[in-house]
Homo-oligomer: A and B are copies of this chain.
Amino acid sequence: MAADLSDGSSSLSVLETVLYAHDLEAAEDFYGGVLGLKTVAALAGRHVFYRCGNQMLLIFNPSATRQPPAGGALPVPPHGMEGQGHVCFRASTDEISAWRAKLESLGIEIEADFEWPRGGRSIYFRDPAGNCVEFAEPRIWGLS
């Protein structure tokens, strides 16, 4: 029996969130070493994959993933972006304060730290590739 999508589409959930970085070793030092994510898989020069709650955070070198799949490889479509991306992780305000202290102790600049008009705090900083990383209280979106 075919699945019925008529009610299900609003319950879509993200399985893979993607960032790009040309220097994957620096990305690993940051996402593994600083943020403490556990590496699930890594292929030098192409990717490093992290489990992040009930989903994955995938960091790709766009120079590698823009190439079409080699003959005999799985037909994974090419993709890749350049510039400064953005991701946000959920945190309580106490956790945000603790992250701020930890990041600053490591010499990582906090680029912004503010309260949203309807409540909830965010802090922003950069990963080594220049991606804009945020910790925010989920209530800024009415989420828990």
Q: How many residues of A contact B (CB 8 A)?
A: 73
Contact with B along A71-115 (1 / 0, CB 8 A): 000111111111111111110101101110110000000011010
Given contacts A10-B36, A37-B9, A141-B40, contact A136 B16 (CB under 8 A): yes
Copy tally for this chain in the complex stands at: 2
Q: Are A75 and B16 in contact (CB under 8 A)?
A: no
A101 to B3, CA, bound (A): 11
What is the CA–CA distance of A124 and B79 in the complex, to the nearest angstrom? 11
Instruction: State A79–B2 Cα separation when bound (angstroms).
Output: 41
Chain A residues 8-61 with CB under 8 Å of chain B are 8-18, 20, 35-38, 40, 51-58, 60
Residues of B within 8 A of A82 (CB): 81-83
- Name 10 extra pairs, CB < 8 A, besides A18-B87, A40-B141: A2-B94, A4-B98, A12-B89, A12-B90, A16-B87, A55-B143, A56-B88, A66-B83, A74-B117, A77-B112
The chain A residues found within 8 Å of chain B, CB to CB, are: 1-5, 8-18, 20, 35-38, 40, 51-58, 60, 62, 65-66, 74-90, 92, 94-95, 97-99, 101-102, 111-112, 114, 116-117, 124, 131-132, 134, 136, 138, 141, 143-144
